[in-house]
Amino acid sequence: MKKIFFCTTIACLMAFVQLSWAQTSTSTSKETKITSTDTIRPKYHQDTIRRTLKRDTSAWKRKVDSTTAAISRKTKETGAKAVAAVKDCSLKNVKGPKGETVYVDEHDRRYYINKDGNKVFMKRPATK
């Protein structure tokens, strides 16, 4: 019984202390004072915020879309190179126009993988 009484007394004292520290100052700052122009401003601020958010989200959407497209291209390129390396033979002495690895498929056609991940077939050199 003594423990229960002691615990409830402590709990009540802690609650009282918390309530007494809730507000230590009675002064108000300049931002909290209400003036006659404040009734007009909130609508203006809401419209400004709405326009700013719309502009910011459209710019953010463009960045996300361009990043997603870049990741998609790189993934496609990496996947195509991995398939070509496993499936087809690579030529060590022949390089593509930008130093790409050249592969030979089962129909004896030469190709390289461009930066978009597509196969670009090369023309055969003229034989003399």
Per-residue pLDDT of the chain (128 residues; tens, 9 = 90+): 777 877 788 776 677 656 555 555 555 555 555 555 545 555 566 677 777 777 777 777 888 888 999 999 899 999 998 988 898 898 888 898 888 999 999 998 999 999 888 999 998 776 65
pLDDT at residue 41 in the model: 53
- Whether this prediction's pTM lies above 0.85 is answered by no
Residue 109 located in a structural domain: yes
Domain extent for 101: 56-128
Residue 108 located in a structural domain: yes
Residue 4 located in a structural domain: no
pLDDT at residue 61 in the model: 83
pLDDT at residue 111 in the model: 93
Residue 89 located in a structural domain: yes
pLDDT at residue 109 in the model: 92
Give per-residue burial for 84-100: e unless 16+ CB within 10 Å, then b. beeebeeeeeeebeeee
Residue 123 located in a structural domain: yes
The CA distance from 60 to 54, in Å, is 10
pLDDT at residue 11 in the model: 77
Residue 125 located in a structural domain: yes
pLDDT at residue 24 in the model: 52
Domain count, the chain: 1
Long-range contact pairs involving 42-46 (C-beta distance under 8 Å, separation at least 24): none
DSSP H or E stretch at residue 17 = helix 2-20
